[in-house]
Amino acid sequence: MKKQFFLWMILVLGCSVVWTQPNHAQGRKRHSRTLNVDVFKNLKVGQWLQIDGIPQKTGIVMAHKVKFKTGDFQNDDWEVFGEPHAIDHAKKEFRILNLKIKATKDTEYETKDRKSWFVTFKDLKPGMLVEAEGTYLKDGTFIATQIEDKTKREADNRGTVQLFGKVEAFNARNKMIRIMGVNFKITSQTKVKSAIK
């Protein structure tokens, strides 16, 4: 009787091992596919991307996340998020990184923070976090159709930048992507999401 019980236990445990192994193996396989995504495999000049990261002193941005975008995007759908500097209220210009962003008389100002007052370019100050939407010109200037104050809503993202626009150039060997004159470095830590099937 004891011998039969012992054999029965071995059979049960053996089945458990057999049935649980495929799940673990499948999990490892999914994880591997995520890590082995090649950003440059389907990348093309002129393709729309959303990319964010942390600027370095060298001027290069270490990419944290890349999203491939598909859709009927227009020339005024470009976006830039970050901390403004070199603010010139007279010329209605400022910079995020080295990208010059220029407002016009038609630029709209927006904020979802009820305690914030942001209705004209004069309300733009150093230390804020803003997102500009508009058109990126060939001369490297960004013409903003809208500037939104995101200082409070995006406080956790201070120190980062995010760009949405067309790929100007890329170098698969050096793992670099350039958008709006900004060079992003792709690393093994960069997360990649794609809408392309």
Inform me whether the pLDDT recorded for 41 exceeds 60.
yes
Residue 193's pLDDT is 87
Which residues have C-beta within 8 Å of that of residue 28, sequence separation ≥ 6?
none
Residue 37's pLDDT is 63
Inform me whether the pLDDT recorded for 5 exceeds 90.
no
Q: Per residue in 66-111, pLDDT tens?
A: 999 988 999 999 999 999 999 999 999 999 999 999 999 999 999 9
CA distance 107 to 141: 15
Domain boundaries, the chain: 1-36, 48-193
Inform me whether the pLDDT recorded for 175 exceeds 90.
yes
What CATH number does domain 48-193 carry, 3.40.50.300, 2.60.120.960, 2.40.50.320, 3.40.630.10? 2.40.50.320
Quick one: 133 exposed, middle or buried, by C-beta within 10 A (0-12, 13-18, 19+)? buried
Q: What is the mean pLDDT of residues 45-61?
A: 96
| Angle value at C-alpha 145, between 101 and 93, nearest 5 degrees | 25
Inform me whether the pLDDT recorded for 9 exceeds 80.
no
Inform me whether the pLDDT recorded for 10 exceeds 50.
no
Q: Note the maximum CA span of the chain.
A: 95
Give yes or no for a contact between 51 and 177, defined as CB atoms under 8 angstroms apart: yes
| Structure-model confidence comparison of residues 46 and 196, the more confident one | 46
